[in-house]
Amino acid sequence: MCRDYFRSKYRNLIVGVNTKVPINNGKTITAVNFDNAATTPPFMAVLREILNYAPWYSSIHRGSGYKSLVSSKIYEESRKIILNFVGADSNLNTAIYVKNTTEAINKLSNRLCDEKMRDVVLSSYMEHHSNDLPWRNNYEVDYIEVDECGRINLNSLERKLKYHKGRVKLVAITGASNVTGYINPIAEVAKIAHRYGANVLVDGAQLVPHTKVNMKIENIDFLVFSAHKMYAPFGTGVLIGPTKTFEMGAPDYVGGGTVDLVTHNYISWNSPPNKDEAGTPNIMGVVALVASIKTLNLLGMRDIQEYENSLVRYTIDRLKVIKDIKLYCIEEDVPRVAIVPFNIDGVEHGIVSEILANEAGISVRNGCFCAQPYIRKLLKIDSDNINIIKNEPGMVRISFGLYNDYSEIDRLVWILSKISDNKDYYICKYARKLSQKGK
């Protein structure tokens, strides 16, 4: 389909795409957001749904009034919509609402295994810190290697499973890297893991907003993702997994809503998912997430992925011709979401980010993107040399949403070309500015 069709189809659905921001020359310019991997702006349909629901806002599972009954019905029926969106079997799985993906993984790490430190969790070198650090508290953690291009090594996965001789209870991998955009071969990972008796958790924070996910087809045991990365603010995340898993043990947070019966000497826990949703639920966040899912379904996830892939290809082709631009992990015919990491030789990544914002109104992310071991691996930095690590190596990350367009990329290319051609000027100007900001 033509570019103009997608531009008009998607861009007008988003709040704030024409917002003006000030830049260094004293003028204002239409803001460009290329930091969608961190947080996306909301769909207009999401805000409309919030306003439509607001008059009915009430307590969930805690009242017999009509508004409370309406709110409770919306809240519970939303789970079916969530499960259906990711192809989960609603007869076997439950959807637990949390604040975000990080909380979802922490919750699962506290609930999953009875033996804990005797159990092994396999993470990988390409994980976000949120799919690494929570496992370290309760389990022995080992890491699946990545190849020189930063892609997961399936041979390493199988070697680790063999080495631990049945002690691996979970393989916890990202669905798509927040650094490189690589989409992992989830079905193959699941096939290998299940062969050795291990379950699979997919961190879907970067995957679910950009491509079609089907837990049943890909044999995913646990899936986590966040609404704020899929055009739905208000602070909701989702943990999906087998209901029977959450029937065991005590919840990690206890209090209102988690119990069926309490005396001073006895506690009977509620059934999942209520057992793991302590306190008053975030119904506004759930309403927002459901509205975003309905919009994404209408647009079609495959069409969204196709359009975003075209943005990536256009960006890579344009950036390749700029001198001193170093692009990372841009192999063709590799499944990916809409992320392009790069550096400019001789210009620190923080300075590049500042210039883009202040000179062209473009928002990107720079640094290690909460994936420091992976960044160091890609940059070929000695992970044991703390002095080098303290120098804060990193990259600049462009991450697209469905509403971004080619004219925004052209603006990015224009300013990056200027930086490349005038390095000394910009380094002098912004190094001083950053040092003053640090004070």
CB 77 within 8 A of CB 203: no
CB hemisphere CA count around 209 (13 angstroms): 35
List the domain range (segments joined by +) for residue 398: 3-42+300-438
Catalytic pick from 113, 329, 368, 370?
370
Query: Looking at the structure, do residues 190 and 292 belong to the same domain, yes or no?
Result: yes
* Domain-ending residue, one of 248, 282, 298: 298
Query: Looking at the structure, do residues 24 and 54 belong to the same domain, yes or no?
Result: no
Query: Looking at the structure, do residues 35 and 69 belong to the same domain, yes or no?
Result: no
Taking only the tens place, the pLDDT of each residue in 229-249 is: 999 999 999 999 999 999 988
Query: Looking at the structure, do residues 273 and 343 belong to the same domain, yes or no?
Result: no
Residues in the chain: 439
Residue by residue, DSSP assigns 360-400 as: H-EE-EEE-TT-HHHHHHHTT--TT-HHHHTT---EEEEE-
Query: Looking at the structure, do residues 287 and 413 belong to the same domain, yes or no?
Result: no
Q: How far apart are CA 186 and CA 188, in angstroms?
A: 5
Query: Looking at the structure, do residues 311 and 259 belong to the same domain, yes or no?
Result: no
Query: Looking at the structure, do residues 77 and 113 belong to the same domain, yes or no?
Result: yes
The dihedral formed by the CA atoms of 435, 358, 415 and 341, expressed in degrees to the nearest 10: 70
* Domain-ending residue, one of 262, 281, 298: 298
Q: What is the pLDDT tens value at each position of the chain, 439 positions in all? A: 455 555 667 999 999 999 999 999 999 999 999 999 999 999 999 999 999 999 999 999 888 899 999 999 999 999 999 999 999 999 999 999 999 999 999 999 998 865 556 899 999 999 999 999 999 988 999 999 999 899 999 999 999 999 999 999 999 999 999 999 999 999 999 999 999 999 999 999 999 999 999 999 999 999 999 999 999 999 999 999 999 999 988 999 999 999 999 999 999 999 999 999 999 999 999 999 999 999 999 999 999 999 999 999 999 999 999 999 999 999 888 999 999 999 999 999 999 999 999 999 999 999 999 999 999 999 998 766 555 555 578 999 999 999 999 999 999 999 999 999 999 999 988 876 666 565 4
β-strands 168-174, 120-124 pairing: parallel
Query: Looking at the structure, do residues 138 and 30 belong to the same domain, yes or no?
Result: no
Taking only the tens place, the pLDDT of each residue in 283-319 is: 999 999 999 999 999 999 999 999 999 999 999 999 9
* Domain-ending residue, one of 298, 313, 329: 298
Query: Looking at the structure, do residues 396 and 263 belong to the same domain, yes or no?
Result: no
CB 353 within 8 A of CB 359: no
Q: Is the peptide bond before 41 cis (omega within 30 degrees of 0)?
A: no
Query: Looking at the structure, do residues 195 and 323 belong to the same domain, yes or no?
Result: no
Task: Measure Cα distances from 187 to 171, 200, 202, 221 in Å.
Answer: 12, 10, 11, 11
Query: Looking at the structure, do residues 294 and 305 belong to the same domain, yes or no?
Result: no
Whether the model pTM is above 0.85: yes
Which stretches within 196-332 are classed as H helix? 215-218, 243-247, 283-299, 301-320
Task: Measure Cα distances from 27 to 23, 85, 282 in Å.
Answer: 6, 43, 40
Number of domains in the chain: 2
Domain with 353 in it: what CATH number?
3.90.1150.10
Q: How far apart are CA 292 and CA 43, in angstroms?
A: 7
Domain with 85 in it: what CATH number?
3.40.640.10
Is 2 annotated in the active site? Answer: no
Query: Looking at the structure, do residues 59 and 130 belong to the same domain, yes or no?
Result: yes
